[in-house]
């Protein structure tokens, strides 16, 4: 690969699925370079995509489904649409986010979430419940990739995703901003409903299996549990995140 070609690939990426492509068209049409649509798609979603591309003056090419599969791989459920886009500029810093929050902050801290489907679902809930930012470590964490964007259905465009070097240090910084940091863990001493979420709050969630790392958990102000009465030992992390966020907005009367 030539240096010029490598620079071109670094300046663009592929996203797929109708939700992800339409969301990018609505939020950042100038960042959509070209759309490839399965030429056999004649349904309402395909027609809507064609109209949106035309209205935003984005080139749309109808191609065979095999070409789409070659672009994103057999494991990807592209739904008949793939787009070449400019990467989203990660210009957010935690300080910038905190400075611009009006009202009590609501943050999510993810420790060791490596599954893009889980992250995509969490980002979708974060958007729905008004989360100001999602924070994750730079190591041992999934970034915003095509799968995340597809599952997030546009939320990866609207919710800042901030990757930090040291979660424990970041938690201490949040405390200095009067943000109460709560770990969601099955061994918590308080049920979810017993947490006062009306003040600024950051929920900490860990990956299934390994959970929240010991030092990160020790940095938290409190540990809350989600009561479970069935036979399963734990919930999917994206479900846990949604429950924590719902409880927060319920208490705040949003």
Q: Provide the annotated binding site.
A: 206, 226, 235
Which amino acids are annotated as binding site for S-adenosyl-L-methionine, given as ranges?
206, 226, 235
Furthest CA-CA distance within the chain: 59
Q: Is the CB of residue 105 less than 8 Å from the CB of residue 132?
A: yes
DSSP code, position 111: E
Q: Between the CA of residue 210 and those of 101, 123, 206, what are the distances in Å?
A: 32, 21, 7
Distance (Å, rounded) from C-alpha 113 to C-alpha 131? 17
d(CA 124, CA 113) in angstroms, rounded, equals: 15
Pairing mode of beta strands 13-16, 81-85? antiparallel
Question: Helices H, strands E: what count in the chain?
Answer: 11, 11
Question: What gap in Å lies between CA 247 and CA 249, rounded to an integer?
Answer: 6
Would you state the torsion angle of the CA atoms of residues 32, 36, 38, 44, taken in this order, to the nearest 10 degrees? Answer: 20
Distance from C-alpha of 15 to C-alpha of 30, rounded to nearest angstrom: 15
Distance CA 70, CA 167 (A): 38
């Amino acid at each position: 690969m030539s240096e010029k070609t490598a620079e071109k690939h670094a300046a663009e990426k592929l996203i797929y699925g109708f939700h992800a492509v339409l969301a990018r068209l609505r939020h950042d049409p100038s960042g959509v370079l070209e759309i490839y649509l399965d030429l056999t798609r004649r349904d309402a979603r395909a027609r809507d995509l064609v109209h949106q591309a035309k209205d935003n003056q984005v080139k749309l090419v109808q191609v065979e489904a095999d070409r789409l599969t070659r672009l994103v791989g057999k494991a990807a459920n592209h739904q008949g649409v793939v787009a070449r886009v400019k990467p989203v500029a990660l210009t957010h810093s935690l300080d910038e986010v905190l400075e611009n929050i009006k009202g009590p902050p609501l943050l999510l801290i993810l420790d060791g979430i490596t599954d893009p489907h889980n992250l995509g679902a969490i980002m979708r809930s974060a958007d729905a419940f008004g989360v100001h930012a999602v924070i994750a470590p730079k190591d041992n964490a999934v970034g915003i990739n095509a799968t995340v964007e597809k599952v997030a259905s546009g939320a990866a465009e609207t919710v800042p995703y901030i990757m930090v070097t040291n979660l424990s240090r970041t938690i201490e910084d949040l405390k200095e901003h009067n943000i109460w940091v709560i770990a969601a863990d099955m061994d918590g001493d308080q049920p979810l409903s017993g947490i006062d979420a009306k003040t600024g709050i950051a929920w900490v969630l860990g990956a299934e299996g390994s959970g929240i790392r010991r030092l990160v958990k020790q940095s938290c102000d409190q540990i809350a549990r989600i009561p479970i009465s069935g036979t399963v030992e734990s919930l999917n992390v994206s479900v846990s995140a949604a429950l924590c966020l719902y409880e927060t907005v319920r208490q705040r009367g949003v």
